[in-house]
Amino acid sequence: MKTLIFLIVTGISVSTFYANILTDSTKVHNYVGVDVCGLCHKTEKQGNQSDLWEKSRHSQAFNTLLTEKANIIAKDKGFSKPAAETPECLKCHATGYDLPTERMGSKFNVSDGVQCETCHGPGSDYKSLQTMKNPELSSQNGLFVPVGKEEFCKHCHNPESPTFVSFDFEKAWARINHPVPVINK
């Protein structure tokens, strides 16, 4: 709960949180993008994780900011820029929008919305198969798996959002939950 309160009170994005809080002071992890993650996480053995994400509303989160409806909401909230350029909107609709470009790999696209690294942290140092085979090593190299899933999700899915609609977390989680990959050691 402390993490959620910190993120809401400070108004920072999850990507900034990972960049500044979860990394140790000697190592900065960079973002690689959903296309890099998808190279391995697309098979049935891996739980078809890429396909699940692609079919989810999370994959379209940034695109919703490109609509006239989103721009009207942003204007009604007192923002002068379009929704897709407003940090208060982007913090829940786009990973990495607030980080320097040198933190983004060549395949990383902010327009991919709420993607793998939104929930699992920047993947540059845990993406290798050798690292992924070792959960402890993965964690040491930036992999984050939210323990308090509902609390983590409420960072964005909360009444602060102008389009928030109360929902059953367990049902929503069932739609986006993906199996843990099977990795042969």
State the residue range of the domain holding 121: 2-176
Q: Give the three-class secondary structure for 104.
A: strand
Structure token digits, residue 170: 């367990």
We report the CATH number of the domain holding residue 109 as: 1.10.1130
Q: Is residue 40, in this structure, part of any structural domain at all? A: yes
Residue 23: its pLDDT value, please? 47
* Whether pLDDT at 21 is above 60: no
Q: Give the whole-angstrom CA distance, residue 178 versus residue 49.
A: 6
Residue, of 78 and 9, whose pLDDT is higher: 78
Which H or E run includes 51? helix 49-54
Give me the percent of the chain exceeding a pLDDT of 90.
61
Number of domains comprising the chain:
1
Q: Is residue 184, in this structure, part of any structural domain at all? A: no
Q: Give the whole-angstrom CA distance, residue 97 versus residue 95.
A: 6
Q: Is residue 182, in this structure, part of any structural domain at all? A: no
Q: Is residue 112, in this structure, part of any structural domain at all? A: yes
Asked whether the CA dihedral 50, 100, 12, 60 is positive or negative, the reply is negative
DSSP summary character for residue 80: S
Position 135 confidence tier, pLDDT thresholds 50, 70, 90: confident
| pLDDT tens profile 55-111 | 999 999 999 999 999 999 999 999 999 999 999 999 999 999 999 999 999 999 999
From residue 37, alpha-carbon distances to 40, 99, 115, 122, 135 in Å are: 6, 19, 10, 11, 16
Residue 65: its pLDDT value, please? 98
Q: Is residue 181, in this structure, part of any structural domain at all? A: no
Q: Is residue 20, in this structure, part of any structural domain at all? A: yes
Q: Is residue 185, in this structure, part of any structural domain at all? A: no
Residue 147: its pLDDT value, please? 82
- At a CB cut-off of 8 Å and minimum separation 6, what does 181 contact? 40, 41, 45, 46, 47, 49, 132
- At a CB cut-off of 8 Å and minimum separation 6, what does 1 contact? 148, 151
